[in-house]
Amino acid sequence: MSSTQEKSWRAGRFWWDCSQPDNSAHPLRAVIFDLDALSDLDVDGHRVVFNAAFAAHGLPINWGVTRYQQLLALHDERQRVAAELRKRCVGPECDVLTELLADEICMTKDLMFDEMILDAGLAPRPGLEDLVNDAFLAGLPVGVVANGRRRWAEPLVRQLVGDGLVETVVTTDDVSAPGAELYRQALAELGVAGHDALAMAGSAA
């Protein structure tokens, strides 16, 4: 018997009863999703709109799922487009002009995104509806943070989850900077401290 075990035994307690964590210290009071946790926004959303932008510029490029997933290793959309243009030798030979063409395609994609994303046929991730319903029935408020504008993010959340199940949607219209600020704002609107909330994120960030 170790000295620690012996001391616990002499105090009238067995050693395995010592130092048990208090799991009730911070009960779960809210669940916060990012938009990528609700649906595969990259593959089923951004990819589709990029293909429309390529077509709008008269380019014979159509990203399939496998190719787009490869390109996600590049964290910047502009880098993905430029890499594709170079790979296919599409556009001017001058690298500077290729970069400018990539900028134009990305701007076109951004303009088209707001109009197209709600009609892109995005599907909720498997199990999402059951999870949100369970949280709602358990009295746990659900929040969603979106790295995008409210005009399309809020109706997309309703489309994926349903009406009346999400208590707050925080978008880039609500904060001065994206990222962690979105979650801080959601916690503030739900009236919950960070250690009492569970965040579920589908994005690398």
Q: For the residues of 151-171, what is the DSSP string, one character each?
A: HHHHHHHHHHH-TTS-SEEE-
Instruction: Say how far apart CA 190 and CA 115 lie, in whole Å.
Output: 30
For 75-102, how does the pLDDT look when each residue is reduced to its tens digit (9 = 90+)?
Answer: 899 999 999 998 887 655 567 788 899 9
Amino acid in the structure at residue 161: V
Q: Which helix (H) or strand (E) holds 134?
A: helix 128-137
Q: Running DSSP on this structure, what letter comes out for residue 17?
A: G
Instruction: Say how far apart CA 188 and CA 51 lie, in whole Å.
Output: 38
**CA distances (Å), 28 to each of 91, 169, 182, 183, 192, in order?**
54, 19, 19, 16, 10
Instruction: Say how far apart CA 82 and CA 38 lie, in whole Å.
Output: 29
Instruction: Say how far apart CA 115 and CA 70 lie, in whole Å.
Output: 26
Q: In 3D, which of 122, 123, 84 has the Cα closest to residue 106?
A: 84
What is residue 186's predicted lDDT score, i.e. its pLDDT? Answer: 95
Beta bridge partners of 33: 144, 200
Strands (E), 78-131: none
- pLDDT per residue, tens digit, the chain (205 aa), is 444 444 433 444 443 445 555 555 668 999 999 999 999 999 999 999 999 999 999 999 999 999 999 999 998 999 999 999 988 876 555 677 888 999 999 999 999 998 899 998 899 999 999 999 999 999 999 999 999 999 999 999 999 998 999 999 999 999 988 889 999 999 999 999 999 999 998 866 5
